[in-house]
Structure 1
Amino acid sequence: MKVTQLDCLCLILLHLLHTSGSERFEVLGPTDSIVAVAGDDIILPCYLKPNISAEDMTVDWLNLDFLDERVFRYQNHRIIRDDQIPYYRGRTSLFEEELWRGNTSLKLTRVQGTDEGHYKCLIQSKSWYDDFTVQVLVKAVGSKPVVSIEGHREGGMGLLCESEGWHPDPELVWLDSKGVHLSARTLETHRDFKGFYRVKQHVIVQETDTNHFTCRVQQKRINEKMETEIHLPSELFDPTPWRMAFIVLCCLGAIIGIGLSLAIYCICYKKDDLTEQRDDLKKDNNDITRKLDDHNGKLEILTSQLDFVNTNWSPDFETIRTHAVDVTLDPDTAHRNLILSDDGKQVRHGELNQVLSDNRKRYKNWSGVLGNVGFSRKFYYEVKVEGKTEWTLGVVRRSINRNERSRPIPYKGYWTVELKDGKYTAHADSPLTLLLREKPLKVGVFVDYEKGQVSFYNVEARSHIYSFTRSKFSKKLYPFFNPGGSDSISLVVCPVDATD
Structure 2
Amino acid sequence: MENCCKPSLLFHILCLLVLTQMTSLVTAKDFLVFGPSDPIVATLGGEAILPCSVFPVMSVENMEELRWFRTRFSEAVFVYRDQEEQKEGQLPGYSQRTSLVKDQFHEGKAAVRIQNVQESDSGIYVCHFKQGHFHEEAILELKVAAMGSVPEVYIKGPEEGGVCVVCMTSGWYPEPQVHWRDSRGEDLPASSETLHEDAEGLFSTETSLVLRDSSVRNVTCSTFNPILGQEKAMAMVIPEPFFPQASPWKADISEILKMMQVLLLLTSCLLMRAHSARLRLQWKWSHFQLEKDESQMTKEDALRTATWRKAHLYADWRKEHFQTWTFTLDPGSAHPTLVISQDRMRVTRKDTIVCLDGLFSVLGTKGISSGRYYWEVKLANGEGSKWILGVCREGVERKGFYFESPEKGFWTVGQSSCGYFAYVDRGRASLSIRQAPQSVGVFVDYDEGDISFYNMSDMSHIFSFHKASLSGTLLPYFRLMSGNVSMTVSSMACVSEGQEGEEGEK
TM-score (norm 2): 0.43
TM-score (norm 1): 0.44
